[in-house]
């Protein structure tokens, strides 16, 4: 038996990177998976490949900053698979910001909308369905930048720090309904977002990581798998750091 047999998961930002690894691993462990992303071609391909290997998966186009799109995505999930047990708020963006005086107001708003508000909207849409089936697991994806200052990433760091506190608040609010809410803080993970954000200099970061390498998307996916499953039934409101020892 898989660790997620019979469960239904919606994973945002799952057309590539960490989200893709999470969607594929969840399927391998028995879950039906909704691949949700704004990247239609890549997301459709991931869902099709999961189905080709015997899994249950479908793609849903989702702008995570749009409340109506969230409602539609959750409705489609329940229509296709009957319920929603797991939500992974993985979708994020990161761009070079510069110092406080250099950050445009529009950049600040976009980074907070995608990296914090979107997860709030996802929780609002998903929680009623989780309540209907007697519980569920919400996994928000933060960043180790939420836990310390960053000279050139104030907006991104601020958004992820806010998400961590939203996670804790939600965990307390819904614990009695068996809806668990946790957050994973990845360190430097070898994803398209990291490679693009560092302009191809991502490998230089590995020298500063105690374990001696960049993280891989599967490293985060295994953490999400634990939080998603029944093995973590007594775990809510935690911040799980997966960073190769950087913050030890």
Question: In this predicted structure, which of 73-87, 114-128, 180-194 has the lowest mean pLDDT?
Answer: 180-194
CATH number of this structure's domain 8-242, picked from the four choices 3.30.470.10, 3.40.50.720, 3.40.50.2300, 3.30.70.3280 = 3.40.50.720
Reply yes or no on whether the pLDDT at 110 is more than 70: yes
Q: What is the mean pLDDT of residues 87-115?
A: 93
Q: How many whole angstroms separate alpha carbon 59 and alpha carbon 50?
A: 11
Q: Which residue has the higher pLDDT, 15 or 150?
A: 15
Q: What pLDDT is stored for residue 98 in this prediction?
A: 86
CA 229 to chain centre: 15
Reply yes or no on whether the pLDDT at 201 is more than 80: no
| Angstrom distances, CA of residue 97 to CA of 147, 150, 153, 154, 192 | 18, 11, 6, 8, 18
pLDDT band per the 50, 70, 90 thresholds, residue 197: low
- Token output for 205: 């970061």
Q: What percent of the chain lies above the pLDDT cut of 90? A: 88
Q: What is the mean pLDDT of residues 133-142?
A: 98
Q: Which residues are the active-site residues?
A: 156
Reply yes or no on whether the pLDDT at 199 is more than 70: no
- Find out whether 111 and 155 touch, Cβ atoms under 8 Å: yes
What is the per-residue pLDDT across 43-73, written as a single tens digit (0 to 9) for each?
Answer: 999 999 999 999 999 999 999 999 999 999 9
pTM: 0.96
- Token output for 75: 């409705």
Q: What is the mean pLDDT of residues 163-181?
A: 98
Reply yes or no on whether the pLDDT at 203 is more than 80: no
Q: What is the mean pLDDT of residues 143-158?
A: 92
Reply yes or no on whether the pLDDT at 174 is more than 90: yes
Q: What is the mean pLDDT of residues 72-86?
A: 98
Q: Which residue has the higher pLDDT, 205 or 161?
A: 161
- Find out whether 197 and 96 touch, Cβ atoms under 8 Å: yes
Q: How many whole angstroms separate alpha carbon 31 and alpha carbon 8?
A: 5
Reply yes or no on whether the pLDDT at 92 is more than 80: yes
Q: What pLDDT is stored for residue 97 in this prediction?
A: 80
Facing residues of 87 across strands? 10, 138
């Amino acid at each position: 038996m898989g660790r997620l047999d019979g469960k239904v998961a919606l994973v945002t930002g799952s057309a590539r990177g960490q989200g893709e690894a999470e969607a594929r691993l969840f399927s391998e462990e028995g879950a039906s998976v909704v691949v949700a992303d704004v990247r239609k071609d890549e997301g459709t391909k991931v869902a099709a490949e999961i189905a080709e290997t015997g899994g249950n998966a479908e793609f849903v186009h989702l702008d995570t900053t749009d409340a109506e799109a969230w409602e539609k995505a959750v409705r489609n999930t329940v229509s296709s698979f009957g319920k929603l047990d797991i939500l992974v708020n993985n979708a994020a963006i990161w761009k070079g910001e510069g110092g406080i005086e250099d950050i445009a107001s529009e950049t600040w708003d976009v980074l907070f909308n995608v990296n914090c508000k979107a997860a709030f909207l996802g929780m609002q849409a998903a929680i009623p369905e989780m309540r209907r089936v007697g519980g569920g697991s919400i996994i928000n994806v933060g960043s180790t930048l939420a836990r310390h200052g960053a000279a050139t990433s104030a907006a991104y760091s601020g958004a992820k720090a806010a998400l961590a506190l939203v996670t804790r608040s939600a965990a307390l609010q819904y614990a009695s309904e068996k809806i668990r809410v946790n957050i994973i803080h990845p360190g430097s993970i070898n994803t398209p977002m990291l490679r693009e954000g560092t302009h191809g200099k991502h490998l230089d970061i590995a020298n500063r990581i105690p374990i001696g390498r960049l993280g891989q998307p599967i490293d985060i996916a295994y953490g999400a798998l634990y939080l998603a499953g029944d093995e973590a039934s007594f775990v809510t409101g935690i911040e799980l750091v997966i960073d190769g020892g950087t913050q030890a």
